Amino acid sequence: MEDFYVEELSKKEIFFKLFITLIVIVCAVLLGMYLIKKNTLHIKNEISLEVGSTLPKKTKDYVTSKIISDSDYRIEVEGYKLGDTLDKVGEYKYSVKTKTQIREGIIKVVDTTAPEVEVQNLIVGTDEGYNLDDFIVSCKDYSMPCNVTTKEDKDYEEVGTYNLNLIISDNAGNKTEKKVSLTIKDGYSRADTLTSDTKIAKTEPSYDDFVEEYAFKLFDKAVPAGEDNEAEKYLLSLLEEDLNKYIPEKYAGTHIVANETIELFNKSGYTVGYAFRATLSNGEIVYLENK
């Protein structure tokens, strides 16, 4: 029978083998951590966007980890679709999903943009009142309403022309300033001037295909807003009629399946008339004619 011997290792050899084993383990752990990190989905925890801007469509706007293909990610935003216009200030949750992972973050929609304002100078009679909103022709902003104040803390009653500095602010605290003039005239009537302006300045609702010749009814004088005014009385009376008789002749044989009333205004917001946009039984959309 042969004798077996167990090889005795020196302390140096044992230390060397342990050292090599340790290095292999450490390398394996580091490689594993690297691969996990490389394949882990990372997103932006918080994204700040301006109200009125477009919600980004690209994955890189949300994901911070390496992107192989946009098709590997599904992005959803609370209350919106990618590419939509962000029309309201607030915080919205969003999520990014892959086949194996999901992450959630927050989109903050902020308003740092001052209102877009068009103003006009004002002329009033000595016995007429006015308010600061009368200087405003239009105010566009995502944080309505527009609030109007003035640097000049005084009232004007005497005949003359006065310069005012208006401050127009929105609900987010953004401000813009406009200079206007107020003229007070003896024997002048602003009310008569406003009602005599029958030029169409805007419509509600607004359609790009509308032109002045499509107006169904234009009043001799513009009508100020108010309960039970003459414009509303006319409209209510007309809507009791059969509007099919106002379909343009070229569409004879069709009938109205849907009709929309369009109110016409002058630059001061007084009603100057109405138009009617109708959908016909053949699918055509036309403006009714009062001939």
| 203 and 129 in a common domain | no
Helix (H, G, I), strand (E, B) or coil at 260: strand
Spatial contact of 271 and 219, defined as CB atoms under 8 Å apart: yes
71 in a structural domain: yes
34 in a structural domain: no
39 in a structural domain: no
Report how far residue 11's alpha carbon sits from residue 17's, in angstroms, rounded to the nearest whole number: 10
Domain count, the chain: 3
Q: Count the neighbouring beta carbons within 10 Å of the beta carbon of residue 95.
A: 15
User: What are the residues whose beta carbons fall under 8 Å from the beta carbon of 116, sequence distance 6 or more?
Assistant: 139, 140, 141, 176
Kindly report the CATH number assigned to the domain that includes residue 154. 2.60.40.10
Q: For the sheet containing 90-97, what is the strand order?
A: 46-50, 102-110, 90-97, 74-77
Two tokens, residue 97:
């999903």
Report how far residue 279's alpha carbon sits from residue 260's, in angstroms, rounded to the nearest whole number: 9
Spatial contact of 25 and 86, defined as CB atoms under 8 Å apart: no
In 3D space, the residue among 273, 272, 136, 129 whose CA is nearest the CA of residue 195 turns out to be 272
Report how far residue 223's alpha carbon sits from residue 271's, in angstroms, rounded to the nearest whole number: 5
Instruction: Show which of 161, 188, 215 is a domain's final residue.
Output: 188
Element (H, E) at 105: strand 102-110
| 278 and 203 in a common domain | yes
Q: 183, exposed or middle or buried, with CB in 10 Å at 0-12, 13-18, 19+?
A: middle
Domain that holds residue 257: 198-287
* Amino acid identity, position 13: E
Q: Per residue of the chain (291 residues), give pLDDT as tens.
A: 555 554 555 667 766 667 677 777 767 666 565 555 556 889 999 999 999 999 999 999 999 988 888 899 999 999 999 999 999 999 999 999 998 899 999 999 999 999 999 999 999 999 888 889 999 988 999 998 999 999 987 888 899 999 999 999 999 999 999 999 999 999 899 888 889 999 999 999 999 999 999 999 999 999 987 656 789 889 999 999 999 999 999 999 999 999 999 999 998 889 999 999 999 999 999 999 997
Report how far residue 70's alpha carbon sits from residue 86's, in angstroms, rounded to the nearest whole number: 22
Chain CA centroid to CA 233, Å: 34
pTM for this model (two decimals): 0.64
250 in a structural domain: yes
Find residue 77's DSSP bridge partners.
Answer: 80, 94
Instruction: Show which of 188, 221, 240 is a domain's final residue.
Output: 188
Q: Count the neighbouring beta carbons within 10 Å of the beta carbon of residue 246.
A: 19
Two tokens, residue 31:
């490689």
249 in a structural domain: yes
Chain CA centroid to CA 262, Å: 22
